[in-house]
Amino acid sequence: AQSVTQLDSQVPVFEEAPVELRCNYSSSVSVYLFWYVQYPNQGLQLLLKYLSGSTLVKGINGFEAEFNKSQTSFHLRKPSVHISDTAEYFCAVSDRGSYKLIFGSGTRLLVRP
Amino acid sequence: NAGVTQTPKFRVLKTGQSMTLLCAQDMNHEYMYWYRQDPGMGLRLIHYSVGEGTTAKGEVPDGYNVSRLKKQNFLLGLESAAPSQTSVYFCASSYGTSFNEQFFGPGTRLTVL
């Protein structure tokens, strides 16, 4: 069964520094990949998704992610973070043909001034 | 458009009490989902529906029931609440195919004493 691993439960970083949030999934079967963000006391909203094509995907708020099939990874990056990026970030995977999302355990990004 | 709405936002129950959580969406989505979110565990799928009048079990269905009598509404019921059901519950909806994003409601925080 598909599973998603987010190794870092919390990532503290200073404002304007770069950040990478790591995500690995278990199955090499064709997949769709997603990153969602959850701001405090809110629901989840989509940051970006990889369906096919270019392995570098750009999303909202300056985030991007790179799909690496050989390493079954989909790491999220931002070159310069803001205080407002403080939130929890979830990686999710959907097997092609399945409408169910499998979520990782989440990474809390804490941006400090 | 309101998107996905959930009622209530907060609720405290005593063990053994019952309640129903209501989810409504105005995007004409076929698919709807109920998740629970617990610290360090990401989101886990409780039940889902692929259309009006249909429901199916997800990853953690025990202790919950659902109904989808109208396309826009998806109800989650707890017949006899237990402390283990203390969680934040999220409803989501989508067009259904695996490459479509899911849209999430703001969540319901439930505490069972």
Mean of the per-residue pLDDT values of chain B: 94
3-state secondary structure of B90: strand
- CB of B40 within 8 A of CB of A108? no
Q: Which of B50, B97, B107 sits opposite A43 (nearest CB)?
A: B107
CB contact set of B20 (below 8 Å; sequence gap of 6+):
B75, B76, B77, B78
Are B105 and A43 a contacting pair at CB < 8 A? yes
Residue A28 has pLDDT above 70, yes or no: no
Residue A1 has pLDDT above 90, yes or no: no
B97 and A99: CB-CB below 8 Å?
Answer: yes
Per the CB < 8 Å rule, is A43 touching B4?
Answer: yes
% of chain B with per-residue pLDDT over 90: 88
Whether the per-residue pLDDT at B96 is higher than 80: the answer is no
Instruction: Name the residue among B98, B104, B105 with its Cβ closest to that of A99.
Output: B98
Position B29 scores a pLDDT of 94
Contacts of B51 in chain A (CB under 8 A): none
Give the per-residue pLDDT at B101.
Answer: 86
pLDDT of residue B82: 97
Predicted local distance difference test score (pLDDT) of residue B34: 97
Contact A98 B98 (CB under 8 A): yes
